[in-house]
Every structure is written in structure tokens, then in C-alpha cells.
Amino acid sequence: MSAGNKAAIALTLAAIGAVGCGKADEAPRASNALAMAVAWKETSAEYEALYLQGFNVAKMHVDRALRDGRRSLAVISDLDDTVLDTRDYWREVLAADAQLFEDARWDVWVAKNKVRASPGALDFLNFCRDSGVEVFYITSRDQGPMTMELALGNLKAAGLPFADAEHLTVITDSSDKEPRQRQVAQSHDVAVYLGDNLNDFRRSYYVTDAQRRRQRLAADRNEFGRRFILFPNPTDGHWIRAILGDSEPPPSQETLDRLHQLIGRR
């Protein structure tokens, strides 16, 4: 690197510091905590590629199970940010300059049926259907008594197969998916589980401690990409509960201050 380039970089860093910090010893503050996460979901080819990768891996395992002659095969999947693409909601959130997930806005958005299938989801799910593999969806969405009807409407709007009450479970009293997973596993041989939240696989990830969640991975390290297929979600999920105490924290100054305290610190 030339001396000129170094000087230019130093000037740029100084300018960023001057704009981003009130005081020299303060960390830079984003004007909207969500902006980069939504920009990544919205624009990056990497985001879409990770979905394609996840469904390709899932298909590989289902294919192998079929070749091995396993019977009564099933796939268990989460809905949002797994087989359903919710990016339109996040565009609305950012357009309104909201700082975090907003439950009331979500409930209105769900009823609009603007949801789409995630990249690669339809190919994989239709492959399952055409191969005689049943797909069971389990979601912890909660729109009150309308939850089931609205979720079925979303599945149909997105063109997903198995859009019926037999294959969709909504759990509004708890986000613990294990009881329903065990029920499906009694009558089916589950080839893979799909989710964007570790709680979609095991309840033991539902803890309010980010480090404990990461430590918990050690016991499951051989499951990822095999039995558990994980999709990316930088905007919402129980990882937020682990750092802010609530999956859907209020967008208060206290919440945002806590977020800024965490950035760059271990």
C-alpha cells in the first residue's frame, strides 16, 4: 500500500470517527440497528445462496433415505425464514424506521398474504411431495384464534405443498416444538429438520444466555448439515432473546443502549 493510500485511509477513518462518535472514546452508533441486517437479507446473493445450499443438503439426505428404502419418511420444518420468505415484512419495518421486530405490524402483514416461498423451498418441498415424503410444518406464530387460518393462507399464497391442517401445527401457548416433533416421529421416520432458529431443533437452546447457547452447540456439532438444516436469520429469533432478554424486545432506548454495549464486546 502506498503512503498516499495510507493517508487517505487514515483521513477516511478520522471522518467516520467524527461523524459516528460524540466523544472520541464512545463506540460509533448506528442510526438504525436493523439497517445492515435488512440490507443483507434484501440484497445479498449470499443470503439466497445459503437457502439454496440448505435445501440442496436437505434433498441429498432425503434422496439417500429414499435410496436406503426407509419408509414413512417425513421432513419437519419451521415456517418463517425457513420455507417462507418474510423479506417484504422487513422492508416495511425499515421503511417505517422501526428499530426491531414489531408484533403489531407483523400481525397486519401476515394477514396480507404477501409472503413468498424462500429461495429453493418450492423445489425441495415439491420434490418431497412427489417422492411420497410428507412435510410437517411447526410454527410458534401467534395471531390469536386466527393463527391457524392465517398461516394456512400464507402457505397457500406461497404455493407450498401440504398446506392443510394435518400438516401444520401452530403452538401459541409455548414455543417448545419438541412435543409435536416427538408425535410426528412416532408415526414417521424424520429425515431432516429445517429451521432458522436453534429452538426449531431442540428446546435446550431456549436459554437467555448467548454463551450457553454457543456452548450447547458442542453436543450437536455433528447434526448440522445432516439431521438439522439451519437457515440464516440476522433480524430476529431467540439469539435476540439471549442478548436482550426477549425475542421481541420493545424498541426502547434501554434496548438499543444494551445492543450497543454488546457490539464489539465479549
- Span near Mg ion by CB under 5 A; candidates 41-49, 80-88, 90-98, 170-178: 80-88
Taking CB under 5 A as the rule, which mask of x and - marks residues 202-241 in contact with Mg ion? ----------------------------------------
| 106 vs 97: CA distance, rounded Å | 15
What is the secondary structure of the chain as a DSSP string? Answer: --HHHHHHHHHHHHHHHHHH-SSTTSPP--SSTTHHHHHHHHH-HHHHHHHHHHHHHHHHHHHHHHHTT--SEEEEE-TBTTTEE-HHHHHHHHHTT--S--HHHHHHHHHTT--EEPTTHHHHHHHHHHTT-EEEEEE---BTBTHHHHHHHHHHHTT-S--STTTEEE--S-S--HHHHHHHHHHSEEEEEEESSGGGT-GGG--S-HHHHHHHHHHHTTTBTTTEEE---SSSSHHHHHHHSSSS----HHHHHHHHHHTT--
At closest approach, how far in Å is the CB of 16 from Mg ion?
Answer: 34
Residue pair 92/71 in contact by the 8 Å Cβ criterion: no
Q: Decide if residue 85 touches Mg ion (CB under 5 A).
A: no
- Per DSSP bridges, beta strands 84-85 and 116-117 are antiparallel
Q: Which three cell numbers mark 141?
A: 406464530
At closest approach, how far in Å is the CB of 117 from Mg ion?
Answer: 14
Q: Which of 80, 85, 102, 236 binds Mg ion (CB under 5 A)?
A: 80
At closest approach, how far in Å is the CB of 266 from Mg ion?
Answer: 27
Cβ closest to Mg ion, residue 134 vs residue 137: 137
| 127 vs 59: CA distance, rounded Å | 8
At closest approach, how far in Å is the CB of 241 from Mg ion?
Answer: 13
Cβ closest to Mg ion, residue 99 vs residue 235: 235
Q: Which three cell numbers mark 195?
A: 429451521
Cβ closest to Mg ion, residue 134 vs residue 236: 236
Q: Which of 65, 76, 77, 81 binds Mg ion (CB under 5 A)?
A: 81
Site for Mg ion in 91-130 (CB under 5 A): none
Cβ closest to Mg ion, residue 227 vs residue 260: 227
Q: Which of 102, 134, 196, 236 binds Mg ion (CB under 5 A)?
A: 196
At closest approach, how far in Å is the CB of 205 from Mg ion?
Answer: 13
Cβ closest to Mg ion, residue 139 vs residue 255: 139
At closest approach, how far in Å is the CB of 76 from Mg ion?
Answer: 13
Taking CB under 5 A as the rule, which mask of x and - marks residues 60-79 in contact with Mg ion? ------------------x-
Cβ closest to Mg ion, residue 65 vs residue 78: 78
- Span near Mg ion by CB under 5 A; candidates 101-109, 111-119, 181-189, 191-199: 191-199
Count of chain residues binding Mg ion (CB under 5 A): 4
| 155 vs 95: CA distance, rounded Å | 25
Q: Which residues bind Mg ion (CB under 5 A)?
A: 78, 80-81, 196
